[in-house]
């Protein structure tokens, strides 16, 4: 039987064992679900509803979500949820067990260590969580998410540029979600446990420590993507298009000589259709995406080699040096020589 625990006490010097005991203990809400099977939370009775994609869903709004804060909670076990959405960025971390979702009717299962980032207004529901199924919910504003994480990592590759775009406040197609299969990463697990210890603890500078651990976790997730040679560990999907990330991966791998015609042949679509979908999903044209990826290749070689800048640029696909220098300056706010002298910092 699950063990009851007093949940309204913060504790100094909490360790990993005490954290695990706390998360596995039964909250008052969970006890009600155990006593009354097949019931859902009473909070839905008076909750705001909205129409999304032709479906009436509950709108879960975290209280007093400030731009510099992360709200965290453990999802209640022994119950399911109706269809709902968040008007803010929402992240689920599977601390233990697994979690079954229906995302616009598509079944998705996350396992221990997995992380899912939901863009705003993604319609989903959770199925019943069992005793070992511990899901951590993190809520934050779009501005906090983008500024604290991807603003600093946004120049790394197409992937991080795409993340910034899909979570942008100016993007209207908010139906994206990203799954990181991070269960085999002990470093991400360690960082998440430290974040949770800070959250449930009562140490000085607690808020700043939580924010710092959050940033470290996502730098580790970006690293996971960059070392994911099989494209199996990081999955991006939308309720309308499942394969846009595959197109972006292809451009990233063939940036020097890739063309829209080649993309059409590779993925079985007309080049104009791919061009339109890239613009719709990323906010950038094919040429802009390709130029950014070519510039990334240039930056790597500027730091790692002593080759002449002209040779690097031409070998990375730039045939017009004036256009190359203009694009580089617009992207990095410095010249290639300045970038080399600064070591890419």
List strands edge to edge, sheet with 176-180. 71-74, 134-140, 89-96, 115-118, 176-180, 234-238
Contact between residue 135 and residue 74 where contact means Cβ atoms under 8 Å apart: yes
pLDDT at 3 over 50: no
Residue range 97-124: mean pLDDT, rounded: 91
Report the DSSP beta bridge partners of residue 57.
Answer: 50
Report the DSSP beta bridge partners of residue 51.
Answer: 56
Cα–Cα distance measured from residue 256 to residue 182, given in angstroms and rounded to the nearest whole number: 31
- Domain 16-226 and domain 257-341, same fold? Reply is no
Residue range 45-66: mean pLDDT, rounded: 87
The domain limits of the chain are 16-226, 257-341
Q: Does domain 257-341 have CATH number 1.10.10.60?
A: yes
- Can you name the CATH fold of 16-226? Jelly Rolls (2.60.120)
pLDDT at 151: 52
Tell me the CA distances in angstroms from 135 to 94, 111, 172, 237, 253, one per residue in order.
Answer: 5, 10, 29, 21, 35
pLDDT digits (tens, 9 = 90+) for 279-338: 877 778 999 999 999 999 999 999 999 999 999 999 999 999 999 999 999 999 999 999
pLDDT at 156: 54
67 vs 99 pLDDT, higher one: 99
pLDDT at 262: 93
Cα–Cα distance measured from residue 20 to residue 2, given in angstroms and rounded to the nearest whole number: 13
Contact between residue 116 and residue 106 where contact means Cβ atoms under 8 Å apart: no
Residue range 250-255: mean pLDDT, rounded: 90
Give the distance, in angstroms, between the CA of residue 149 and the centroid of all CA atoms in the same chain: 10
- Which of 160, 278, 137 is CA-nearest to residue 225? 160
Residue range 66-72: mean pLDDT, rounded: 78
Least confidently predicted of 32-41, 149-158, 249-258: 149-158
Tell me the CA distances in angstroms from 307 to 123, 253, 299, 300, 317, one per residue in order.
Answer: 51, 22, 12, 11, 15
The whole model's pTM is what? Answer: 0.73
| % of residues, the chain, pLDDT over 90 | 54
pLDDT at 1 over 70: no
**Average pLDDT of the chain, as a whole number:** 85
Cα–Cα distance measured from residue 227 to residue 122, given in angstroms and rounded to the nearest whole number: 28
**Number of CB atoms found within 10 A of residue 137's CB:** 16
pLDDT at 105 over 60: yes
């Amino acid at each position: 039987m699950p063990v009851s625990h007093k949940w309204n006490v913060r504790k100094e010097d909490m360790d990993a064992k005490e954290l695990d005991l706390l998360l596995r203990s039964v909250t008052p809400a969970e006890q009600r679900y155990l006593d009354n099977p097949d019931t859902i939370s009473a909070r839905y009775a008076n909750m705001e509803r909205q129409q999304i994609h032709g479906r009436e869903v509950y709108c879960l709004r975290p209280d007093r979500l400030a731009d510099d804060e992360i709200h965290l909670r453990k999802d209640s076990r022994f119950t399911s949820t109706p269809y709902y959405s968040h008007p803010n960025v929402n992240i689920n971390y599977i601390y233990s067990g697994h979690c079954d979702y229906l995302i616009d009717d598509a079944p998705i299962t996350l396992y221990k260590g997995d992380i899912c980032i939901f863009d705003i207004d993604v319609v989903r529901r959770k199925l019943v969580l069992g005793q070992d199924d511990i899901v951590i919910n993190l809520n934050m504003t779009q501005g906090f998410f983008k500024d604290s994480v991807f603003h600093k990592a946004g120049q790394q590759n197409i992937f991080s540029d795409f993340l910034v775009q899909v979570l942008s406040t100016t993007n209207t197609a908010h139906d994206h979600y990203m799954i990181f299969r991070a269960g085999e990463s002990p470093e991400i697990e360690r960082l998440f446990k430290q974040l949770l210890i800070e959250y449930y603890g009562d140490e000085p500078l607690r808020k700043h420590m939580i924010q710092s651990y959050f940033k470290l976790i996502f730098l580790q997730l970006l690293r996971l993507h960059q070392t994911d040679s099989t494209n199996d560990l990081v999955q991006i999907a939308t309720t309308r298009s499942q394969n846009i990330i595959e197109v972006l991966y292809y451009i990233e791998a063939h940036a020097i000589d890739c063309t829209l015609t080649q993309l059409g042949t590779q993925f079985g679509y007309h080049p104009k259709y791919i061009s339109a979908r890239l613009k719709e999903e990323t906010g950038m044209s094919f040429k802009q995406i390709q130029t950014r990826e070519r510039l990334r290749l240039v930056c790597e070689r500027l730091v790692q080699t002593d080759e002449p800048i002209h040779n690097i640029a031409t070998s990375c696909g730039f045939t017009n040096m004036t256009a190359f220098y203009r694009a580089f300056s617009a992207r990095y706010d410095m010249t290639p020589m300045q970038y080399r002298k600064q070591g890419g910092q």
